[in-house]
Structure 1
Amino acid sequence: MGKMVHVGSRKVGVAPGTLIHIGKKHLTEPKITVIDYNVDNFQELVAENIEEVYPFKDSENVSWINIHGVHQVDLIEKIGIHFGIHSLVLEDIVHTDQRPKVEFFDSYIYIVLKMLQYDKDKEELIAEQVSIILGSNFVISYQEVIEDTFDPVRDRLRSSKGRIRKQGPDYLAYALLDSIVDNYFVMLEKIGENIDALDDELLDKPTPKTLEDIHHLKKELIFLRKFIWPSREVVSSLQREESFFIKESTSIFLKDVYDHIIQVMDTIESYRDILSTMLDLYLSTASNKMNEIMKVLTIIATIFIPLTFIAGIYGMNFEYMPELKWHLGYPVIWALMITVALVMLAYFRKLKWI
């Protein structure tokens, strides 16, 4: 929390629209790729400099400009100026801690979503901000890292599978949104596998590590839910708002994305209920184990109370105690204590305490 406040404080007192990158620097140098296509033609290139993408603003085809790395603010500013993107939007693009949202402008639509990846080493979810600019004949996407879930979209464009090459930029934007949302199911599947493993461990032999893993998964679900709820409003707004940039035929597909988000939300809530039940079960199991231990210790202590009393009496060694000089005194006392112990054990067993 302290680190987040420290990073955000760099913007205190700065004029609105000032571009300051806030977030981790994942790449040394930004990478710009361009895919320009229509039904019959397809062109894909890696731009060496930002000026190479300028002509695609007025291309007769649909152009997808993808920028990996948003830390180089001068590059973001140049492409923003050329494509007529508002400075406040550019500010949000380089500030990678944005909440998922959508904003409608006269010449484009600005969309922010979170793309999730799973770190196998740390066993945790990692969120990457994806900003999308939907224009009349182009889509510009901004990403923080190179690894992403857009490769299936690229493959469909290259092979001309489906309707993507026959549709406009709004359908391309839908395909990107759908890819991000579908990846949520992959993340939930991994969380579900971890929950199943924890469930087996909980029934077999739970340890303090089990409790730690349950809390870790609950935090991940809260982390995931933080991005899913506003994403629902993003897709709902795209579907509901009347915009020149989104055709009615594409709105039907956006409804499908909305339904997928609802499914993700339902799954998250189900997982949260399961983890809450598992937490209660763990605490109940730990409490039962503690009760069993306390019961055994109590029974042992109860048995030794009369034995200690007998040993205390004959340990006083008064001179005129009649049993002190009796040659059978020692074995008789032993027999008495053993008898008392056995009688108490039999009584406890009759009460089903043991």
Structure 2
Amino acid sequence: MTTELATDNCSFEWLDVTDPTKEELQGIAQQYGLHPASVSDCLQPGHLPKYEQFTGYTFIILRVYMTTAHDEADTVQALTGKIAIFVSERFIITIHRKPWEPIHTIQQTYVHTNRCTSPFHVLNVLVRTGLHTFDEPAVAIDEQLDLYEKKVFLTVRKEPLLKGLYFMKQKLEVMRRLLLHTYDIVDKMDREETANAYTRDVRDLYIKQKSLYDSMYENATHLLNLYFNISAQRTNETMRVLTIFSVFFMPLTFIAGIYGMNFRYMPELEWRHGYPVVLGAMAVVVIVIFFWFRRKRWM
């Protein structure tokens, strides 16, 4: 579906294309003189953000966070939507597979009221809005990190906790990678000859988002490592207790094994007080081992 979003008072065209066919894209490419390579990139659903300069226009791929993403989504396509943008002095073309409501909000707020006077101003607002889509998931992930941190320290090891940490780390890794690739777009828009207050605002927003997601990724990685360390510590504690018990019972088992042998001639079997003597010897062995462990601070 193709929609003309620019008003009659605009000095440029804004063509918004939703879920186009290959033939529709080829028709638009011929009409506006678009390079086949950039049109081919539009058809790749998993393409990462990019910025390319062609003769007569600039081609940008922007990825935005989709609110419909599943909680366990951890891939570029599952978490984000792709917005392909062609922009020149006389037109801006936005192409996307799924409807993206902010485009119509931008049209009503900026274009319809003549607040955007050029295609590059519209581009600036689109990129800024795209970056802002990462605000809400950042807040949600930050709250989840706090929750998982409490669970790691205050609860016993549970598989759902490990699963949740894994998907969170993967999600953060995808978003960090997308923001890293988005840097080229922001940097080219805010270069010295075209920089203004709007592009500087987008750069500041990008730096804020990148720093936030880098910090959360490091926290998630640290929390995951901490989870494994605590799990290993609990396992070691269990093994230490079992080892202590085995050390106590090892000499007792040895003594009981000797007197449990079925030899006919064992002089101790004729002793009147043999049984209490052996029990006493066992008690002495246990006491000696106990104080030895306490001296070594193993207990």
Amino acid of the structure 2 residue aligned with 1:37: T
Corresponding position: 1:93 with 2:38? no
CA displacement 1:114-135 (0-9 Å, x = unmatched):
1122523535451222111123
TM-score by length of 1: 0.74
| Alignment map for 1:319-338 (pairs within 5 Å) | 319-338=264-283
Amino acid of the structure 2 residue aligned with 1:32: T
| Alignment map for 1:221-300 (pairs within 5 Å) | 221-240=172-191, 242=193, 248=194, 251-300=196-245
Distance 1:105 1:329 in 2: 101
What residue number does 2:5 align with? 35
1:138 is aligned, of 91, 102, 116, to: 91
Distance 2:12 2:184 in 1: 27
What residue number does 2:263 align with? 318
Distance 2:235 2:71 in 1: 35
User: Tell me, which stretches of 5 or more residues in structure 2 are unaligned?
Assistant: none
Amino acid of the structure 2 residue aligned with 1:240: R
CA displacement 1:24-83 (0-9 Å, x = unmatched):
xxxxxxx33322237xx6xxxxxxxxxxxxxxxxxx54443211113x111111122222
Alignment partner of 2:99: what SS?
coil
Alignment partner of 1:37: what SS?
coil
1:111, distance to aligned residue in structure 2 (A): 1.4
Pick 1 or 2: higher relative contact order, CA cutoff 8 A, min separation 6: 2
Corresponding position: 1:117 with 2:66? yes
Distance 2:59 2:263 in 1: 98
Alignment partner of 1:352: what SS?
coil
1:294, distance to aligned residue in structure 2 (A): 1.4
Distance 1:167 1:321 in 2: 109
Corresponding position: 1:178 with 2:128? yes
1:263, distance to aligned residue in structure 2 (A): 1.7
Distance 2:278 2:169 in 1: 60
Distance 1:349 1:148 in 2: 69
User: Tell me, which stretches of 5 or more residues in structure 1 are unaligned?
Assistant: 1-30, 42-59, 243-247
Distance 1:299 1:121 in 2: 45
Does structure 1 conserve the Cα–Cα contact (< 8 Å) formed by 2:73 and 2:167? no
2:254 is aligned, of 281, 291, 309, to: 309
Distance 1:320 1:100 in 2: 89
1:213 is aligned, of 156, 161, 164, to: 164
CA RMSD of aligned residues (A): 2.6
CA displacement 1:124-182 (0-9 Å, x = unmatched):
4512221111233432100111145435424424874xxx5352222111111110011
Does structure 2 conserve the Cα–Cα contact (< 8 Å) formed by 1:149 and 1:183? no
Distance 2:111 2:184 in 1: 32
Corresponding position: 1:169 with 2:119? yes
Equivalent pairs, count: 294
TM-score by length of 2: 0.86
Alignment partner of 1:265: what SS?
helix
Percent pairwise identity? 26
Distance 2:109 2:3 in 1: 16
Sort the Cα spacing of 1:233 and 1:212 in 2 relative to 1 into closer, same or farther, 3 A.
Answer: same
Sort the Cα spacing of 1:95 and 1:309 in 2 relative to 1 into closer, same or farther, 3 A.
Answer: closer
